[in-house]
Structure 1
Amino acid sequence: MNITALPASAAAATFSPDIFLDPLAIGIVLGGTLASLVLRNQLRDVARAFAALRTLWRAPFAAAPLLHQTAALDRIARRHGVLSLDRSVIADPDMAAAIHAAVDGATPDQVATLVSDCIEARADRHRAAIEVWVGAGEAAPAMGLIGTILGLVQMFAAMTDPDTIGAAMAVALLATLYGALLANLVAMPIAARLKRLARTEAAQRHRLIAPLAALATLERARKRDFAA
């Protein structure tokens, strides 16, 4: 038996990336997933979830620079008093709030509670963004299934038209493919990475509680020494 191999040009003609592109299937999956996110979450959480994409490739949060800055502020406070820190420029909002509280006369426990509350509030915002992407990972396959059902309905409704049958079958199959890819290669990996980044940041920020609370201790000790 002689088997004649297809020429390379013929083989290339039988396979084209264009066959994996279907605007209707893309619209069903992407549009349906986005609609699900809007219905399931607050708009600010959806916006925060998309804004979080710019953090995916950043290095994990490290508290070391803030600890060094806190040590420098501690030296200033020991020399000139905690009130002198009121003129300090602090970029980190949690640390700035703690410094302002210490300057205003908060106790060490109050400063520690303030920092802990800031960390928890930040973690809540991170969780809200992560839940959006987890929801996208859950909704995308469902939208793919809906696209498959719509394609099959269209196919069975036009059994006498071969051209319509082929287009409907393409929608049915590609919608499932798009849903699976969107869930497993986009949404769930993003959610997993955001979880790791949020967990690392929370652990690092807890290292700031004791040094920031110690600044309030300095001011109270200074007041006692002055009264004595």
Structure 2
Amino acid sequence: MEWMTLFDPAALGIVLGGTVLVTLLRTPLHDLVAGIAALRVLVRRPFVADALVAQIAALTRIARKHGVFQLDRAIIADPDVAAAVMAIVDGDEPAEVEALVRYHRGVRIDRHVAAAEMWASAAEAAPAMGMVGTLIGLARMFAGMSDTSAIGAGMAIALLATLYGALLANLVLSPIAARLRAAGRTEAAERARLEAPLAALAACQTPRPPLQSVA
């Protein structure tokens, strides 16, 4: 069998176009953009917090030696850790810093879940669009019973649309959703490791130098 016999532009257009349309209608624009942007996670290594834990340990040593007010000069690439350190510099208590870290972690989890749900929703829609293509193909076939070429074209759409829907859902969309969920779980677990070190860093607060009075 030649592979080109398994290609039908009409069936492919119905399945792809229908899946995209359903996903657009189901997903808010913000989540749609986030879901597409999340694809870069698939080509990156799993998130590991070791480097951030080491950086927080270094900041803790600085805070113990020179005071936490010196930390505002630190260059911190991770936005969650940077926000926590700025809160520490501003004088937040360890419990407040821990709550802030948990909040940012929860926001990240929500983004991961929204991205995975978008792709899972597309995976759910693809087989349904394949069935729509099958019905369209059958309708076309029965409408042209007097024309053998129309019968063949309608049958091709009917069969291949179901095939495309199943392949798209199970070989592309569902794996993407599953891998995004796995990446989200890994990052959530790793970022949980940052709470205790940042709370310990907040406990290193020392009084700021008194302001010099202007004579």
TM-score (norm 1): 0.89
Query: Identity of aligned pairs, percent?
Result: 58
1:28-67 equivalences in 2 (<5 Å): 28-67=14-53
1:8 alignment partner in structure 2: none
Max Rg structure: 1
- C-alpha displacement of 1:16: 1.5
Correspondence for 1:114 among 100, 119, 132: 100
| Corresponding letter in the other structure for 1:223 | P
Structure 2 match to 1:86: 72
- Matched to 1:175, the amino acid is A
Distance across 2 between alignment mates of 1:130 and 1:31: 20
Distance 1:137 1:64 in 2: 35
Aligned pairs for 1:131-142 within 5 A: 131-142=117-128
Moved over 4 A (4+): none
Amino acid at match of 1:24: A
Q: How far did residue 57 of structure 1 move?
A: 3.0
Displacement of 1:197 in angstroms is 0.8
1:166-177 to structure 2, matched below 5 A, reads 166-177=152-163
CA distance in 2, matches of 1:46, 1:216: 37
Partner in structure 2 of residue 154 of structure 1: 140
- Where does the alignment leave 5 or more consecutive residues of structure 1 unmatched? 1-14
> How many angstroms does 1:161 deviate by?
0.3
Cα deviation 1:53-90 (Å, max 9, x = unaligned): 12113221101000000011111111111010101110
**CA–CA distance in 2 between the matches of 1:47 and 1:29?**
21
Q: What is the match of residue 22 of structure 1? A: 8
User: How far is 1:152 from its partner?
Assistant: 0.2
Q: How does 1:138-217 map to 2 (within 5 A)?
A: 138-217=124-203
Amino acid at match of 2:36: F
Q: Shift of residue 216 of structure 1?
A: 1.4
Q: Quick one: distance in 1 between partners of 2:128 and 2:116?
A: 19
Q: Which amino acid aligns with 1:161?
A: D
The C-alpha deviation readout for 1:171-214, integer Å capped at 9, x for no partner, is 11110000000110011111111111100100110000011111
In the other structure, the counterpart of 1:105 is 91
- Count how many residue pairs are aligned between Structure 1 and Structure 2: 209
Question: What TM-score do the two structures reach when normalised by structure 2?
Answer: 0.95
Take 1:95 and 1:81, find their aligned partners in 2: how far apart are those partners? Answer: 18
* Ranges in structure 2 where 5+ consecutive residues have no aligned partner: 211-215
What letter matches 2:99 in structure 1?
T
The whole-number CA distance in structure 2 between the counterparts of 1:20 and 1:44 is 36
Per-residue deviation, 1:17: 1.2
